Amino acid sequence: MHTTVEKLAAPHAGRRAAGEDPAKREQILDGAKRVFMEQGFEAASMNDITRAAGVSKGTIYVYFENKEDLFGYMIERERSRITETVRHALDGNKEITETLADFGMLFATHMTSDQTIRAMRMVIAANHRLPMLCSRFFSATPINPVSVLQEYLDRQVAAGIVACEDTVQAAKQFIELTTVGLFKPRIFGSMEEVPPRGAIERNVTSAIRVFLAAYGTKPSRPAAGE
């Protein structure tokens, strides 16, 4: 009896250990991303993903419960990547207009890209059957573009550069302004091509102007050498 228990326990211990391999996890997510982007969520199968990832189906189930779980984690990984990218734009001691321009360009370019639009359309299309997947896609994670911009705005408030009581709301407003007139036409198909960089730049420039008109304190520039 003791031997039987050991035999049954061993595979589970192995599965737990295998599930902690970050390189294998990334390999699976990379394969899943290629399949989802090419075929869409509904058409993609776990067999397709195993082939694209170069792993067995059993290995996939060590890391992810099912296709929905795998898609959700893929979306979270992509969101984490863009969050880290825009976070770097908020580092340093540049003037607020330049910093917001860098942040806005990165965010708006990402949100109007073909890859992001396809991913969002996939989630919306699956919402009637898998409402929890859609909720997971749009739910706020602890670290996201809004939260990192809010942290930056908090620093600007402390420095007297921005006057704002609700930096979370202000961060959301600026983010919306960077994609106004671009994101909805993209997601609903009236704008089939990725907007040119010039169009995004004009959008972001306008967003900064409106944002600072509402919240900017227009501080005086320090004298040279101060």
- Same domain assignment for residues 3 and 113: no
- Is 223 inside any structural domain? no
165 in Cβ contact with 186 (< 8 Å): no
Instruction: Read off the pLDDT of each residue in 10-27 and give the average, rounded to a whole number.
Output: 64
- Same domain assignment for residues 202 and 91: yes
Residue finishing a domain among 24, 45, 64: 64
Domain encompassing residue 40? 1-64
Give the model's confidence band at 139: pLDDT under 50 very low, under 70 low, under 90 confident, else very high.
low
- 43: CB partners within 8 A, 6+ apart: none
Task: Please give the pLDDT value at position 93.
Answer: 83
CA torsion angle 210 213 216 221 (round to 10): 110
What percent of the chain has pLDDT above 70?
83
**Range with lowest mean pLDDT among 13-17, 20-24, 53-57, 203-207:** 13-17
pLDDT, the chain, mean: 84
Task: Provide the CATH number for the domain around residue 31.
Answer: 1.10.10.60
- Same domain assignment for residues 28 and 116: no
- Is 189 inside any structural domain? yes
- Is 224 inside any structural domain? no
Of the CA atoms within 13 Å of residue 179, those in its CB half-sphere come to: 21
Task: Please give the pLDDT value at position 132.
Answer: 73
Task: Please give the pLDDT value at position 140.
Answer: 52
- Is 30 inside any structural domain? yes
**How far is C-alpha 182 from the chain's CA centre?**
18
**Range with lowest mean pLDDT among 6-20, 133-147, 168-182:** 6-20
197 in Cβ contact with 90 (< 8 Å): no
Could you write out the three-class secondary structure of 152-189? HHHHHHHCCCECCCCHHHHHHHHHHHHHCCCHHHHHCC
Per DSSP, helices labelled H in the chain are 2-18, 22-39, 46-53, 57-63, 67-89, 96-111, 114-126, 131-138, 145-158, 167-179, 183-187, 197-215
Residue finishing a domain among 32, 64, 96: 64
Residue finishing a domain among 14, 35, 64: 64
Q: 55 is written with which tokens?
A: 């792993």
The pTM of the full predicted model, rounded to 2 decimals, is 0.77
Number of compact structural domains in the chain: 2
Residue whose C-alpha is closest to residue 24's, from 61, 69, 57, 59: 59
pLDDT of 84 higher than 90: no
- Same domain assignment for residues 99 and 124: yes
